[in-house]
Structure 1
Amino acid sequence: MEELARLAGIPVRTLRFYRERKLIAPPRREGRIAWYDDDHLARLRTIAALLERGHTLSSIAELAEAFENGRNVGELLGMDTPTEEIPVRLTPEELADRFEGQVTPENLAAALDLGYLGTDGTEIVHVSRRLLDVSSALVREGIPLAEVLDAGRRVREHADALADLFADLVLRHAPEEDLQRMRPLARSVVEAELSLALDRRLRKRN
């Protein structure tokens, strides 16, 4: 414990307090010896970084609980399912920086529920670089993260309906293995129709 506290740059009494609050996992025990590892040190450095960004210990505990109850990276990516999306690995500090202090327990739970985030050891994995970049760009434009996530939930419902429509169309006329090959066609149709819909919306405003 003394060695871990020294490496983390905190007093031993602070480390004991974090253990009591269950902010770090218990050590591995061999008889009367308690062993801490790099995961414990990474968690302590994350706690320090989040405290510097204005988070309270209570909110950090809620964030940690949300991560521990969230899906792991295998469940998030569906490991055997082909995808065109590129996942992104982040530390909790990098995630907090991306969204300018709006990574609250409520927003984190919503992102986990949507399937945007999963965990892999001490790292966070976002399912899609494109969605991560767009979400953080919208927050930088002044749109609250909670509203971005709510919009994402509604977009998900429409996207699922569009995917079902395209899959049904293809499978009526082609074998199932052709569905993966034809997915760029579906993406092009959706992108073009959304572009035209935005054109119509802008004309109405003018």
Structure 2
Amino acid sequence: MPETHEYRMEELAKEAGITVRTLRFYRERKLIPPPRRQGRIAWYDDHHLARLRTIAALLERGHTLNGIADLAEAFESGRDVGQVLGLDQQPTDEEPVHLTPEGLADYFQDQATAENLAAALDLGYLATDGEEIVHISRRLLDVSAALVREGVPLAAVLSSARQVREHADALADLFLVLLRTHTDGPEGRAMDRFRPLAKSVVEAELSMALDRRLREKPSRP
């Protein structure tokens, strides 16, 4: 394991490039966790330094201290990776993405708010891993960011994602019933062959459904 450094208040402030007064202010606002106490001495470590650098990066990206405090609260109350993925999770095609809080802000700019972060945590798109945030799927992260760039508010993307999740669960149930009813042998091995077939059916049907809707409804002026 990498060695963890400890710092007195003055040393931490110097490493972070801030004043001791600013550090005290951040601590009073609960933007950083309490230090370890040894008698009258407060000891800070690399986790505190990482948090201070995150605060500086978020401030540079236009976030306010109130917004950063709300983000920190949502972040710290989020579920960790083990809770979201499960310790015995099944193999998946999805690639998790490890992000710093400022890295997440780079994806969504001013829409990386505490409310949206809390919604994504509740949906299970995001989880925590120490000082990092983990998005469960690179594809979903990239698509969500692309929709935001197209002008769709992130809150609307997350709200729609919840509805998509419900329909996806229903489709998964349908295909699993089909698999269990009409195939023999271990389910795991059969699913390896069945998964790409099910995905192709859903992709084709969704593509045709979009075409039908576009033909039925005139475009907006």
Q: Which moved more, 1:195-204 or 1:26-35?
A: 26-35
Q: Aligned partners of 1:183 and 1:161: how far apart in 2?
A: 15
Root mean square deviation, CA, Å = 1.4
Q: Aligned partners of 1:145 and 1:75: how far apart in 2?
A: 24
Give the unaligned 5+ runs of structure 2: 1-8
Q: How far did 1:32 drift?
A: 3.5
TM-score for the superposition, normalised by structure 1: 0.95
State the match for 1:129 in structure 2.
Answer: 138
> In the alignment, is residue 70 of structure 1 matched against residue 74 of structure 2?
no
Q: Aligned partners of 2:23 and 2:188: how far apart in 1?
A: 55
Q: Percent identity?
A: 75
> Aligned runs of 1:154-173 on 2, under 5 Å?
154-173=163-182
> In the alignment, is residue 189 of structure 1 matched against residue 205 of structure 2?
no
Contact persistence 2:81–2:127 (CA under 8 A): yes
**Would you say how many aligned residue pairs link Structure 1 and Structure 2?**
206
TM-score for the superposition, normalised by structure 2: 0.88
> Aligned runs of 1:5-154 on 2, under 5 Å?
5-81=13-89, 82-154=91-163
Q: Aligned partners of 2:133 and 2:86: how far apart in 1?
A: 16
Contact persistence 1:171–1:179 (CA under 8 A): no
Give the unaligned 5+ runs of structure 1: none
Aligned partner letter, 1:168: V
User: Runs of 4+ in structure 1 displaced over 4 angstroms?
Assistant: none
Q: How far did 1:166 drift?
A: 0.7
